[in-house]
Amino acid sequence: MSSTKKKKKDLTPLMRQYHDIKEEHEGAILLFRVGDFYETFANDAELVSEELGITLTKRNNGSDQTPLAGFPYHALDTYLPKLVKKGHRVAVCEQVENPSDAKKAGRKIVSREVTEITTPGVTMSEKLLEHKRNNYAAAVYWEGKTAGVAFSDVSTGEFALSQITRRQLSDLLQSVTPSELLLPQNLKNNVPEELLDYNLTFIEDWVYEGEYGYNLLTDHFETHSLKGFGVEKQEIAHTAAGALMHYLQETQKASLGHIKRLQSFENKEYMALDGSTKRNLELTTTIQEGQSEGTLISILDDTATAMGGRLLRKWIMRPLKRMRPIRERLNAVEALHVNHDVREQLRKELGQVGDLERLISRICVGRANARDLEKLKRSLAQVPRIKMQFNQLEEPLLNDILDRLKLLVEVQERIGKAIVEDPPASVRDGGIFEDGFNEELDELRDIARNGKNYISEIKDELAAETGINSLKIGYNKVYGYYIEVTNTHTEKVPDHFIRKQTLVNSERYITPELKEVEEKILSSEERSKTLEYELFEELRLYVADFAEEVQQIAQALAELDCLQSFAEVAYRNNYCKPAIADDQVIDITKGRHPVVEKTLPPGDPFIPNDIHLENEDEQILIITGPNMAGKSIILRQTGLIVLLAQIGCFVPAEQAHIGLVDKIFTRVGASDNLAAGESTFLVEMNEAANILNNATRNSLILLDEVGRGTSTFDGLSIAWSLAEYLHNQPSVAAKTLFATHYHELNELENMYDHIVNYNVSVKEHDDKVIFLRKLVRGGADHSYGIQVADMAGLPSIVIERAKEILGNLESHSLDVTDRNGTLEEGARKKKEAVKKAAREMEKQEQITQPSLFQTQIDPNLEMLIDKLEASDPNRMTPIESLMLVSELKKLVEKRK
């Protein structure tokens, strides 16, 4: 006998049952129903005790003491969400029979089964779901350079797949943002780095083998193939989708009939947004705190329904690339924008609509109660009122939405006749149905309410029938209800009376009819509850048959809600309708940052700016100016305006012409990835490499301070070369905004036809800098770094010394070239100027600043002088001259 079998033999029957069920659900916390409690044992108990802060006790388990932790069954909705939010999978094991039935059958313990497994990505619990955010579980599988991805929100019935290149996997997952990611078991110890941040669950390898996944999909959708969904040839994606469907079936333990369609998620339909761009533009979360406040979605989301809020998030993360659907959205928004009264009434009507997607999902999987059916009825009742609000607006997209809004009158009437106006939350305690809905239920209710009166009526009927006026009906626990007749009248007793007991002065009888009435009276309340539950299940299944129609209504209402939200935001914030064209021009007049303008204090208006980009003229804008002048805001607002236009929304500008872009790239800010061993500069270069390797002529690139993460020489060289590459390589000659502190890059305007200089202007007053936040033509030659440092509160002695050093440097010509001479002559003069300035700085330090600097020669400065002396002006290129200047600046920064 094995040790495992021997150990199980020593366990109590209850614990043997627990271990058998636990073995089937390894990796999940098992909540084991015992009477009025959910109990956990052993390792689960220790984990639950720690995570929930509940008491850990011990249970006598035959030969040993087992750790035990539990909570009352009615607290499940409190504790289950806490465990799942911490990333745990939780299996709920219920008693599936009445203890009395188990006893009658001679079993020592009741039957138990896992009825639901809740995971971070698979749940129907309202306490775990955010109303305006999808909760996706996703599965990934790849072979070679091809990857398959499937994702589903079981709470709404959405199920989609996509077959892409392995390189595109990370970007697609960032668009979906799954709460749980499924991978094959064989990757458990070799998970790719880009997937490590997800909540991972590993599925048995056999699920990914052969035709299992394909057959699982065709079985679920009841089709012979997947041709009807347009995904027949996506074999790698089939495997991922099959693994996901397997997981959903294993966890839900219920019908997934609300998953009606297999959608093909085509990335080619949408603008490509990589992770850096989504983060830097702060579309749904802020860079610093990861909050939704202060993001684009916080400005755009004025939706009135949960479905609309979820769809809006998808639209923001997946801008369109084709002109026709963009224009259709914009025209629909315009119609709602100008018809203010219609929009206001429409918003009120939409506000009365419940979450149809999740309502019908709960109904289909058997997790709904009567209140859900009542909410569904009330929501469907809003549809004709909503249609009345905009059926006079002649716009193709609105007309399409109008056609998809079916009334489903029969469903409303069926629920309305059945369910009381304010039903209870439980479906097993009765009180759900209207009087008159079911004859048998009415009778049982009547008996339960009027049992004594009913018996009295039977007594009177029997007395009249037999002529025995003294006939009585009594009750005891042995015989139940009985008829008592005195000996004087026994000869009048009918033949169908059955004698049960003889007393001194009377006889007691029963009749089949009386026993039937007795059973009804004694069990009427329980039978009434049981019958109501059966009737509710019948009604639920009837409504579930309309799941696809309800989902179509929900999708149409969600689209309408997004469009009215765009119109409302445009109306409140003075946005304009952009002109969309299939050309290479972006022309924005008085553009604004949609988020920043809303966060400024009163009396501090946002300063709008114009932007003009086109591939054949002003392709690359080199934008210089001091810190805090607003360069980054101009870059971000340009990206956001283009994105807003291509999701079909009005834009914060006086006027805008947007030539369609296929991708938006950003390289903004400084960050690192120390966990992966990546410095700030390496992260910066990774992002730059991604841009150069994936941009096209139709892209928009936003670059902020490229090269600042390394030495001045290296950084300036990279920035210069990168700008040249974007200008000279036709395949990646994208429209580009390039913000920089390298004023030397202004020279590029003189060298290349499609590079233009701009700067964010400032004014100096009393040695203070005043930011005008206005983008103007021409390059800046001063960064005002010392003034900004002063504003930051650096000690005055440091500020004054910095001014002295800067004065020494600026007293000599440090131009890259001599405008009046040759390039070689300019380089020679530069070398002499730098050497002279450096020596004068050293002399000044020795005389005037003994308290701040060492009196001996600075070794770094000496190295620079040696390098200058070793250089040959006749052989130096302009970029080498720039590198020398930058290294001197780096030295100055070190000495601050």
- DSSP 3-state assignment of 621? strand
| 105 HSE (CA, 13 A, CB side) | 11
Q: Is 275 annotated as a binding residue?
A: no
Tokens 């702060």 locate to 282
pLDDT of residue 857: 47
- DSSP 3-state assignment of 420? coil
Distance between start and end Cα atoms, the chain: 79
pLDDT of residue 292: 84
**pLDDT bracket for residue 429 (50, 70, 90):** confident
> Which is nearest to 684 in space by CA: 671, 675, 702?
671
Q: Indicate whether 704 and 803 sit together in one domain.
A: no
pLDDT of residue 847: 42
Beta strands in 679-754 (DSSP E): 700-704, 735-739
Q: Can you tell me the distance from the alpha carbon of 792 to that of 734, in angstroms, rounded to the nearest whole number? A: 37
Q: Roughly what angle, to the nearest 10 degrees, separates helices 340-350 and 370-390?
A: 170
Q: Indicate whether 753 and 816 sit together in one domain.
A: no
* Domain coverage including residue 25: 3-118
Tokens 């994702």 locate to 151
Average pLDDT, the chain: 84
Q: Is 229:260 a contact under the CB 8 Å cutoff?
A: no
Return the CATH number at 523.
Answer: 1.10.1420.10
The answer to whether residue 758 sits within a structural domain is yes
In this structure, what are the phi and psi dihedrals at residue 584, rounded to the nearest 5 degrees?
-110, 25
How far, in Å, are 809, 832, 864, 873, 882 from residue 876 at the CA level?
21, 13, 16, 5, 10
Q: Is 785:791 a contact under the CB 8 Å cutoff?
A: no
> Which is nearest to 152 in space by CA: 169, 132, 129, 134?
134
Q: Indicate whether 668 and 767 sit together in one domain.
A: yes
Q: Is 240:149 a contact under the CB 8 Å cutoff?
A: yes
Report DSSP state, residue 592.
-
Mean pLDDT of 661-684: 67
> Which is nearest to 350 in space by CA: 315, 388, 379, 313?
379
Q: Which two tokens stand for residue 639?
A: 């990206």
Q: Indicate whether 365 and 252 sit together in one domain.
A: no
In this structure, what are the phi and psi dihedrals at residue 80, rounded to the nearest 5 degrees?
-60, -50
Return the CATH number at 719.
Answer: 3.40.50.300
Q: Is 709 annotated as a binding residue?
A: no
The answer to whether residue 289 sits within a structural domain is no
Report DSSP state, residue 511.
-
Helices (H), ranges, 477-623: 512-544, 547-573, 596-599
Three-point CA angle 618, 702, 739, nearest 5°: 75
Mean pLDDT of 567-582: 96
- DSSP 3-state assignment of 271? coil
> Which is nearest to 727 in space by CA: 745, 708, 704?
745
How far, in Å, are 631, 781, 834, 862 from residue 810 at the CA level?
25, 11, 10, 20
How far, in Å, are 114, 126, 128, 251 from residue 120 at the CA level?
18, 13, 8, 11
pLDDT of residue 788: 67
- DSSP 3-state assignment of 506? strand
Q: Indicate whether 613 and 712 sit together in one domain.
A: yes
Q: Which two tokens stand for residue 31?
A: 């909540």
Q: Which two tokens stand for residue 57?
A: 């006790």
pLDDT of residue 541: 95
Q: Can you tell me the distance from the alpha carbon of 194 to that of 686, in angstroms, rounded to the nearest whole number? A: 13
> Which is nearest to 363 in space by CA: 160, 537, 135, 530?
537
Q: Indicate whether 101 and 239 sit together in one domain.
A: no
**pLDDT bracket for residue 661 (50, 70, 90):** very high
In the predicted model, is pLDDT for residue 158 greater than 90?
yes
How far, in Å, are 143, 177, 197, 360, 425 from residue 171 at the CA level?
18, 10, 14, 31, 42
**pLDDT bracket for residue 307 (50, 70, 90):** very high
The answer to whether residue 284 sits within a structural domain is no
Rg value, the chain, Cα: 38
To the nearest 10°, report the CA torsion of 522, 524, 525, 530: 130
Q: Indicate whether 629 and 758 sit together in one domain.
A: yes
**pLDDT bracket for residue 49 (50, 70, 90):** very high
pLDDT of residue 871: 57
In the predicted model, is pLDDT for residue 594 greater than 90?
yes
Q: Is 13 annotated as a binding residue?
A: no
Report DSSP state, residue 578.
P
Q: Which residues contact 466 (CB under 8 A, 6 or more apart)?
A: 489, 492, 493, 494
Q: Find the helix or strand (DSSP H, E) in which 654 lies.
A: none
pTM of the full predicted structure? 0.81
Q: Is 578 annotated as a binding residue?
A: no
Q: Indicate whether 822 and 863 sit together in one domain.
A: yes
**pLDDT bracket for residue 895 (50, 70, 90):** low
The answer to whether residue 129 sits within a structural domain is no
> Which is nearest to 514 in space by CA: 457, 444, 431?
457
Q: Which residues contact 226 (CB under 8 A, 6 or more apart)?
A: 214, 217, 218, 232, 238, 262
Tokens 């009376």 locate to 497
Q: Is 630 annotated as a binding residue?
A: yes
pLDDT of residue 346: 93
Q: Is 29:70 a contact under the CB 8 Å cutoff?
A: no
Residue ending a domain, among 495, 528, 561, is: 528
Q: Indicate whether 660 and 773 sit together in one domain.
A: yes
- DSSP 3-state assignment of 237? helix
In the predicted model, is pLDDT for residue 389 greater than 90?
no
Q: Indicate whether 622 and 759 sit together in one domain.
A: yes
The answer to whether residue 283 sits within a structural domain is no
Q: Can you tell me the distance from the alpha carbon of 380 to that of 407, in angstroms, rounded to the nearest whole number? A: 7
Beta bridge partners of 182: 139, 201
Quick count: other Cβ atoms within 10 Å of Cβ 595? 23
CA 524 to chain centre: 49
The per-residue pLDDT for range 171-198, each reduced to its tens digit, is: 889 888 999 999 999 999 999 988 998 9
Q: Is 27 annotated as a binding residue?
A: no
Mean pLDDT of 595-599: 91
> Which is nearest to 575 in space by CA: 553, 593, 560?
593
Q: Indicate whether 70 and 196 sit together in one domain.
A: no
Least confident of 308-322, 375-389, 404-418, 476-490: 476-490
The answer to whether residue 789 sits within a structural domain is no
Q: Can you tell me the distance from the alpha carbon of 702 to that of 259, in angstroms, rounded to the nearest whole number? A: 41
Q: Can you tell me the distance from the alpha carbon of 422 to that of 497, in angstroms, rounded to the nearest whole number? A: 46
- DSSP 3-state assignment of 872? coil
In the predicted model, is pLDDT for residue 464 greater than 70?
yes
The per-residue pLDDT for range 730-788, each reduced to its tens digit, is: 999 999 999 988 888 888 998 899 999 998 887 766 656 666 788 888 877 666 666 66
pLDDT of residue 671: 52
Return the CATH number at 240.
Answer: 3.30.420.110
pLDDT of residue 831: 47
Q: Can you tell me the distance from the alpha carbon of 670 to that of 714, in angstroms, rounded to the nearest whole number? A: 17
Say how many residues make up the chain: 896
Mean pLDDT of 441-450: 85
Q: Indicate whether 86 and 154 sit together in one domain.
A: no
> Which is nearest to 198 in space by CA: 187, 207, 213?
187
**Beta strands at 263-264 and 272-273: parallel, antiparallel or unpaired:** unpaired
In the predicted model, is pLDDT for residue 669 greater than 80?
no
**pLDDT bracket for residue 498 (50, 70, 90):** very high
Q: Can you tell me the distance from the alpha carbon of 158 to that of 287, in angstroms, rounded to the nearest whole number? A: 29
**pLDDT bracket for residue 337 (50, 70, 90):** very high
Q: Is 363:157 a contact under the CB 8 Å cutoff?
A: no
To the nearest 10°, report the CA torsion of 742, 748, 750, 753: -150
Cα torsion 199, 204, 210, 215: sign = negative
Q: Can you tell me the distance from the alpha carbon of 155 to that of 258, in angstroms, rounded to the nearest whole number? A: 9
**pLDDT bracket for residue 592 (50, 70, 90):** very high
Three-point CA angle 736, 740, 744, nearest 5°: 105
Q: Can you tell me the distance from the alpha carbon of 152 to that of 139, in angstroms, rounded to the nearest whole number? A: 9
Q: Is 632 annotated as a binding residue?
A: yes
> Which is nearest to 164 in space by CA: 155, 156, 173?
173
Q: Can you tell me the distance from the alpha carbon of 202 to that of 566, in angstroms, rounded to the nearest whole number? A: 41
Q: Is 173:153 a contact under the CB 8 Å cutoff?
A: no
> Which is nearest to 831 in space by CA: 812, 844, 845?
812
DSSP 90-105: EEEEEE-S-HHHHHHT
Residue ending a domain, among 528, 563, 587, is: 528
Q: Roughly what angle, to the nearest 10 degrees, separates helices 547-573 and 356-365?
A: 160
The answer to whether residue 28 sits within a structural domain is yes
Q: Can you tell me the distance from the alpha carbon of 735 to that of 850, in angstroms, rounded to the nearest whole number? A: 52
Q: Which among 88-92, 436-440, 557-561, 750-754 has the top mean pLDDT?
A: 557-561
The answer to whether residue 432 sits within a structural domain is no
Report DSSP state, residue 222.
T
- State how many domains the chain has: 6
Least confident of 104-113, 207-216, 340-349, 780-789: 780-789
Mean pLDDT of 888-895: 59
Q: Is 631 annotated as a binding residue?
A: yes
Q: Which residues contact 160 (CB under 8 A, 6 or more apart)?
A: 150, 151, 152, 262, 263, 264, 265
